[in-house]
A and B are shown apart, each in its own frame.
Chain A
Amino acid sequence: MDDKKRNEAYNKYVKAKLPKTRPWPSLFNSFLVGGIICCLGQGINDLILLWFPNMAEQTAWAYTLIVLIFIASFLTGIGVYDKIGKFAGGGSIVPITGFSNSITSPAIEFKHEGIIYGICVKMFTIAGPVIVVGIVSSILVGIVYLFI
């Protein structure tokens, strides 16, 4: 119990000692980059609709996301995306490109462990929870709507 008190005091002390960083620059960066990525998505969407005027809106969005995922995956491969991430923080994690990055980066990282145990197994180490939570919650929502 004496230890507990000591630990609490120490944690409190460390918290006070932590370097204070101003949040505004990083918030601005994330705003800027996030906004740009969304505009890029909008631009791709508009181009697709320009070329294929008969396409349904939903389909056009699906293609847009695929293009964005491709770009992010490629930038991850050539080692640029993590530099963007260092600058933008949330700005490059929250868009769908961040999802793509979180699948590609472990796949590349663990390629030395082989295709099956490296690339395939590790691919979802970070993005796995996203898919799991997304599916579980969507099923729950679907079941709820069944009774409405």
Chain B
Amino acid sequence: MGKSQTIVFKNKPVIIGSYSIVGPKEGKGNFGPYFDYVMKDDCFGEKSYEKAEKKMLESAIVGAIENAKIKPKDVQLILAGDLLNQIISSSYAARNFDVSFLGLFGACSTMAESLAVGSSFIDSKHFQKVVCATGSHFSSAERQFRFPLELGNQRPPTSQWTVTGAGATVLSSTGKGPKISMATIGKVVDYGISDVNDMGAAMAPSAMDTMLAHFRDTGTVPDDYDLIVTGDLGKLGSEILIDLMEHNGIKLGLNYNDCGQMYFTRNQNTLSGGSGCGCSATVLNSFIIEKLRRGELKKVLFMPTGALMSTTAAQQGETIPGVCHAIVIESDVGKENKKYFKSTGINGEKLNFENESKDKENIENDILNIDKNNNSENNKNDKKGQTKIKSQENKSILKNKNINKNKSVKNGLDQDSDEDIEKENKYKKSKLSSKKEG
């Protein structure tokens, strides 16, 4: 029934670079150790939160280009979007790059939208290097969609916390890294939810619709993926999605999770979890791509959802339509670098890193630690204390590792401070403009 919504890429685009930047609160969350940069102050040295969001997005794009070890002039197209009216963060960030730009709006699903569009351009060989980026900021979203920050009101238990963060991915026609093999473009689905504080319930049907279309078009089942991850359905929304899928005869197992639900720790007081463009974008560009590069995840179905609403429409009594796009990302490590690993398995996996033999034990601990953490939360096991200690240990270890890893990337910058990023940016820009002139 129905026409196919899925694109299968023949020339699979390669993710050669990724970068994530988040605010201080997000840095303390579950994914903290994986992010490339955690801001000390969520104003990022700017005067307003909108300007901070723009700067974050800019830094993410610069960081991803650097991470891909290419030059800014090699990039042919920037695809970006955000939550603000007229997607100002994206277009204002793009104004500092001498690169073609397409602005996209898919609300919180923008990361998948940009990856799908970018992959199609690369597959059709029109472009060779494309940067996909999105970002969101808690404070700028809050003032646009909800209330002033200082207003003394309570947030209902279904409300979510817009993630302050930006992520960027560099797609290339050649190179090494995880590959995007398929993309399913979702339909706009509206099941008549009008509570603006319950985005999860509004978006879950669109996630179901896209997921069903994806499994139907590709003939795959949930077990074919190591990880199926939705963007920001939150606690309630992901429970609804599991129910909806079960209703349609597909059972989502432990390999399903939600970025928003995983994002924050339980005592961070975010109620139903994280949301916003930045939520899925930063998780993808830190945790997921990292795991894909290491081969700890082989095949990931990444499907952020977006609530396509505005305050005007909501005040006029409109319900909230949702949209969801799915992207399949496959790791290249499994096939080509098999000798890198001694043995593999999905759970209780044992890995042997040749050059990091010291950290062997810790890596074992760390594997899918967040997933475990979260599952235990799901099952309401009260092993909170234990997992917390574990994750803290891992955090410190991972931080060391990350610094090692990033040394080459960050050009020997030892201190992570906002000024440094600023300097980097300026340096990049000067480089960029000199290239322009030269």
Chain A contacts for B243, CB-based, 8 A: 13, 17
Distance, CA A4 to CA B192, complexed state (A): 8
Encoded as 1 (CB less than 8 Å from any A CB) or 0, chain B from 48 to 61 comes to 10100000000000
Distance, CA A18 to CA B152, complexed state (A): 24
Chain B contacts for A17, CB-based, 8 A: 201, 236, 239-240, 243
Asked if B152 and A126 sit within 8 Å, CB to CB, the answer is: no
Q: For the complex, is B157 an interface residue (Cβ under 8 Å from A)?
A: yes
B97 to chain A, nearest CB (A): 25
Q: For the complex, is B150 an interface residue (Cβ under 8 Å from A)?
A: yes
Q: For the complex, is B380 an interface residue (Cβ under 8 Å from A)?
A: no
Query: Given A101-B150, A101-B151, A105-B150, do A112 and B47 touch, yes or no (CB 8 Å)?
Result: yes
Q: For the complex, is B149 an interface residue (Cβ under 8 Å from A)?
A: yes
Q: For the complex, is A41 an interface residue (Cβ under 8 Å from B)?
A: no
Encoded as 1 (CB less than 8 Å from any A CB) or 0, chain B from 212 to 255 comes to 00000000000000000000000010011001000000000000
Encoded as 1 (CB less than 8 Å from any A CB) or 0, chain B from 311 to 339 comes to 00000000100000000000000000000
Asked if B143 and A10 sit within 8 Å, CB to CB, the answer is: no
Distance, CA A88 to CA B152, complexed state (A): 9
Task: Determine which of A8, A79, A105 lies in contact with B192 in the assembled complex, contact meaning CB atoms within 8 Å.
Answer: A8
Distance, CA A103 to CA B188, complexed state (A): 38
Q: For the complex, is A46 an interface residue (Cβ under 8 Å from B)?
A: no
Asked if A104 and B150 sit within 8 Å, CB to CB, the answer is: yes
B198 to chain A, nearest CB (A): 7
Task: Determine which of A6, A77, A101, A112 lies in contact with B152 in the assembled complex, contact meaning CB atoms within 8 Å.
Answer: A101
Q: For the complex, is B175 an interface residue (Cβ under 8 Å from A)?
A: no
Asked if B192 and A19 sit within 8 Å, CB to CB, the answer is: no
Distance, CA A88 to CA B154, complexed state (A): 8
Encoded as 1 (CB less than 8 Å from any A CB) or 0, chain B from 130 to 157 comes to 0000000000000100011111111101
Chain A, range 11-45, C-beta contacts under 8 Å to B:
11, 13-14, 17-19, 21, 26
The number of chain B residues touching the other chain, given as a range, is 20 to 34
Asked if B150 and A81 sit within 8 Å, CB to CB, the answer is: yes
A82 to chain B, nearest CB (A): 5
Asked if A84 and B192 sit within 8 Å, CB to CB, the answer is: no
Asked if A112 and B48 sit within 8 Å, CB to CB, the answer is: yes
A103 to chain B, nearest CB (A): 10
Encoded as 1 (CB less than 8 Å from any B CB) or 0, chain A from 80 to 118 comes to 011111101100110000100110111011101000000
Distance, CA A92 to CA B152, complexed state (A): 7
Chain A contacts for B143, CB-based, 8 A: 109-110
A77 to chain B, nearest CB (A): 8
Chain B residue at minimum C-beta to C-beta distance from A82:
B152
B214 to chain A, nearest CB (A): 21
Q: For the complex, is B117 an interface residue (Cβ under 8 Å from A)?
A: no
Distance, CA A101 to CA B147, complexed state (A): 12
Chain A contacts for B147, CB-based, 8 A: 105, 126
Distance, CA A92 to CA B239, complexed state (A): 34
Query: Given A17-B239, A19-B158, do A85 and B191 touch, yes or no (CB 8 Å)?
Result: no
Asked if B148 and A89 sit within 8 Å, CB to CB, the answer is: no
B380 to chain A, nearest CB (A): 13
Chain A residue at minimum C-beta to C-beta distance from B48:
A112
Chain A contacts for B276, CB-based, 8 A: none
Asked if A18 and B158 sit within 8 Å, CB to CB, the answer is: yes
Asked if B151 and A82 sit within 8 Å, CB to CB, the answer is: yes
Chain B contacts for A84, CB-based, 8 A: 152
Chain B, range 187-217, C-beta contacts under 8 Å to A:
190-193, 198, 201, 205
B234 to chain A, nearest CB (A): 11
Q: For the complex, is A137 an interface residue (Cβ under 8 Å from B)?
A: no
Chain B, range 6-23, C-beta contacts under 8 Å to A:
none
Distance, CA A144 to CA B250, complexed state (A): 65
Chain B contacts for A76, CB-based, 8 A: 150, 152
Chain B contacts for A126, CB-based, 8 A: 147-148, 151
B42 to chain A, nearest CB (A): 14
Q: For the complex, is A7 an interface residue (Cβ under 8 Å from B)?
A: yes
Chain A contacts for B152, CB-based, 8 A: 76, 81-86, 88, 92-93, 98, 101, 105
Known: A10-B192, A14-B201, A19-B236. 10 other contacts (CB 8 A): A7-B190, A7-B319, A11-B192, A82-B149, A84-B152, A105-B147, A108-B148, A108-B150, A112-B47, A126-B147
Which are the 8 A-B pairs with shortest beta-carbon distances? A85-B152, A7-B192, A109-B148, A105-B150, A105-B148, A112-B48, A105-B151, A10-B191
28 contacts between A and B (CB under 8 A): A4-B192, A7-B191, A7-B319, A8-B192, A10-B192, A11-B191, A11-B193, A13-B240, A17-B243, A18-B158, A19-B157, A77-B150, A81-B150, A82-B150, A82-B153, A83-B152, A85-B152, A85-B153, A86-B153, A89-B153, A89-B154, A93-B153, A101-B151, A105-B147, A105-B148, A106-B148, A109-B148, A126-B151
Using a CB–CB cutoff of 8 Å, the interface residues on chain B facing chain A are 47-48, 50, 143, 147-155, 157-158, 190-193, 198, 201, 205, 236, 239-240, 243, 319
